[in-house]
Amino acid sequence: MYIELFFFTLGLIIGSFLNVCIYRLPQNQSILTPSSHCMTCNTHLKPWDLIPVLSYHLSRGRCRYCGVSFSSRYPIVEILTAGLFVWCLYILGISLELFKTLILTSFLLVITFIDYDHQLILDKVLLWLFGAGVVINLWTNSLDIWDMIIASFLGGGLLLFIAVISRGGMGGGDIKFAAALGIWLGWQYLLLTLLLSFIIGGVGGLLLLAFKLKNRKDFIPFGPFIALGALISSLYGNEIITWYLERL
């Protein structure tokens, strides 16, 4: 029980940092300075204003200094991160794989929310994803260099091919995102990720149209679907591939 509580709290704290990344990176602002402040009155928030979820709840979602409403996005991202961290712990147990998956999950959350807000996957985030993947794999010996290279070209190449035949249905950001995920996942899990993202994206797109949340002319960012596919592959890839092979 204590270990779940520890990972939930860790998720809240990391989620709070991911909020800063999601908000500031698209505006080319530093994620380290200045410290968190109210966007309206510019008051620097004190440590007790920055306790994830709790501060938001106690101040009823408002700035304590000028009363402006804060977006409910902040506590949502914090709770989502915390929930995913506990879920990863539950599936993977304390392991190197868990450590790797928590870092990947954090990247996936930042990419998902920025893509949702701005229809953009930032190169600087992808470069960090790329670099972190190489370092962690070499350090933990989980993938050899050739598997990373092949998976990376496979991911980028497949989405580039789809982008060409669909004439812009896939953006440059998606292509680079798939290439970077190849580094993290290796070629088998990468293929599973792309397959899942097409299925989830197809169903998700139809649902968005059916409930009139989007219409035919709207651009629906594909990055969040790739991110969800990558998360499912990381947590359940082994089971899904085994299940599939048994039925061949």
Residues lying near Zn ion in the complex (CB under 5 A): 38, 40-41, 63, 65-66
How far is the C-alpha of 172 from the C-alpha of 176, rounded, in Å? Answer: 6
Whichever of 46 and 131 has its CB closer to Zn ion, that residue is 46
Least Å from the CB of residue 43 to Zn ion: 5
- Is the Cα dihedral 74, 117, 101, 237 positive or negative? positive
Least Å from the CB of residue 68 to Zn ion: 5
Determine the residue type at 34. P
Least Å from the CB of residue 67 to Zn ion: 7
How far is the C-alpha of 61 from the C-alpha of 213, rounded, in Å? Answer: 26
Least Å from the CB of residue 42 to Zn ion: 7
Whichever of 38 and 104 has its CB closer to Zn ion, that residue is 38
Determine the residue type at 64. R
SS (H, E, C) 108-121: HHHHHHHHHHHCCC
How far is the C-alpha of 100 from the C-alpha of 87, rounded, in Å? Answer: 14
Least Å from the CB of residue 127 to Zn ion: 34
Whichever of 65 and 153 has its CB closer to Zn ion, that residue is 65
Q: Are 4 and 89 in contact (CB under 8 A)?
A: yes
* Helices (H), ranges, 166-222: 172-210
Whichever of 63 and 180 has its CB closer to Zn ion, that residue is 63
Whichever of 38 and 82 has its CB closer to Zn ion, that residue is 38
Q: Quick one: which of 121, 239, 139 has its CA closest to 181?
A: 121
